[in-house]
Amino acid sequence: MLNRRSFATLLAGAAVLGGRAHAQGLRGKTVLYANVGPELFLYDVEAEGATLTRRSSVMLQAGVQYAWPHPTNRFFYVASSNGRPGGGPVNQGDKHYASAFRIDPVTGVLTPYGQVLQLAARPIHISVDGAGQYAMIAYNDPSNVTVHRINANGSLGAAVVQAQKPDIGIYAHQIRTTPMNRTAVLVCRGNNPAEGKGEDPGSLKVFGFADGQFTNLASYAPGGGYGFGPRHLDFDPAGRFAFVSLERENKLYTYGLQADGTLSRDPLFMTESLAEPNNRRRGQGAGTIHVHPNGRFVYQANRNSAVVDFQGRQVFAGGENNMAVFAIDERTGEPRLIQNADGHANQLRTFSIDPTGRVLVAASINSILMRQGNSATNLSAGLTVYRIGNDGRLSFARKYDVDTSKGTQFWSGMVTLT
């Protein structure tokens, strides 16, 4: 059983570990979690050989949507739902949950822990604040955000009733606290025009954050949010910049992170993420984004799963499924696209980087048929493993095929055991 003093001790230890990561190497074993539908699998990660070994799995109440570890890496929080992408009443589902697990510090095996929370709508993202006291959940349809206490023993507690209604934007897709933990950013994607309906503008909503309460501070929506469809963001280790993946535009926006926890009024840089930005195909979009542990590189997923009819079968229509690699100017934060590494799979929705910065693993959602001359062959879903060079570039190591016939591989992420 942990009390607040124990939490503080664990957090201090985690902070020390993070600070020594590059100088001495991380002593803890790193594992990867990746789901297929409601089943969450555990893989050992061997960074030197760039290999994965599947070990065990746990079952959730519904399909895994997103997950996040506690800062101590002793607990793990998973959002699940039977809702599906696409929005609207048909895909909203009716079973939505947030669950806590204990992480075995030696093996990484997950054990259910505490009560399972029932949620009102499909959770699209879950994260934990820097102090490890609150879990925050974003919902895309209808757009919303909630905060839940993390009890002194690490289990999930009650929702925090908000004194002020948060500015929730349209189609929230991610909620993150900033490195100083005094503010939080809700990333709202908006929607492309479709079926006679006009475009819904996107935005970044910045809240003050204290005692589990959000207070509206600022809203960022260049051009009124039209032509601005942010999906995810990440921060550099020094806390100077926020890098934002624009899903609907396939761009990377760089904002300055101000001393008060807000963002620069305008993006400092707007950078293309596609290898062929002038040949953007139907269905093309950007995905998640992560900063390398050393802060010198940023990685962003480009994804496309549009299909066309071929001999009565639905085959890939063409587009980019790759990892965009950016070198970051250490003084200005300006990104420079240096590589688009083939994904060897369809729809790289999530990926993660091991804490030593040597390996990147990308997870594709499902399989897809690819046209090969007058026939069609199956491109399997999988976990694509890359080595990361000293220059930040990715080299393909191997792909592990994953059977997604029983559900999509919707989320993946690494945790270093402590």
pLDDT tens-place string over residues 250-296 = 999 999 999 999 999 999 999 999 999 999 999 999 999 999 999 99
Domain ranges of the chain: 4-416
Q: Which fold has domain 4-416?
A: Methylamine Dehydrogenase; Chain H (2.130.10)
Residues in the chain, total: 418
Q: Which two tokens stand for residue 411?
A: 């989320």
Give the residue from 298, 201, 202, 323 showing the smallest Cα distance to 242.
298
Alpha-carbon dihedral sign for residues 366, 387, 28, 77: negative
* The two structure tokens encoding residue 164: 């002020």
Three-class SS state of 280? coil
What residues does 221 pair with on adjacent strands? none
pTM, whole model, 2 decimals? 0.93
**What's the mean pLDDT in 79-83?**
96
What is the amino acid identity at position 373?
Answer: G
Tens digit of each residue's pLDDT (9 = 90 or more) over 326-373: 999 999 999 999 999 999 999 999 999 999 999 999 999 999 999 999
Residues 6+ apart with CB under 8 A from 318: 281, 304, 306
The Cα–Cα gap between 107 and 87 comes to: 37
